[in-house]
Amino acid sequence: MASYKDTLGTLNAAIGQLNQAYKAANTIEDKDRIFSVMELLQDEVNAVAAAGLAASDAAYSAQAASFKKASDQIAEFQSHINLYVKYISLAGQVAEALGKVVAVIG
């Protein structure tokens, strides 16, 4: 069975690789799919961290609320980033359409 540290390391590495794929994705649909998987993995990281905290001594238990708050903030930031990516994609589509119009007119 993998250790707590190894499990978190593996999940975080996968999130990091997905983040790189997200940056390289060309369509909003691809970005949405990648983002959804990243969210699932982040939920697993949160669950593993919570389980690790529950199994640890009282000093770690005091940090659970802080980790939950940070996790909630990260989820909120991810939501905002996803929204911005959608706006940027839409702006790119509009610019492309205008480029076609200019090419036809010009």
* Number of neighbouring beta carbons within 10 Å of residue 61: 11
pTM higher than 0.75: no
pLDDT at 53: 66
DSSP letter assigned to residue 7: H
DSSP letter assigned to residue 27: S
Q: Please state, in angstroms and as integers, the Cα–Cα distance from residue 106 to each residue in 8, 86, 91, 94, following that order.
A: 56, 30, 22, 18
Round to whole Å and give the CA distance between 42 and 13.
11
Element (H, E) at 41: helix 28-55
pLDDT (tens, 9 = 90+) of the chain, 106 residues, equals: 677 788 888 889 999 999 998 998 888 988 889 899 899 889 989 988 888 766 665 555 566 677 777 778 888 888 888 888 888 888 888 888 888 888 888 7
Domain ranges, ordered by start, for the chain? 4-105
Sequence-ordered list of residues with C-beta below 8 angstroms from that of 67, at least 6 positions apart, any chain: 46, 49, 50, 53
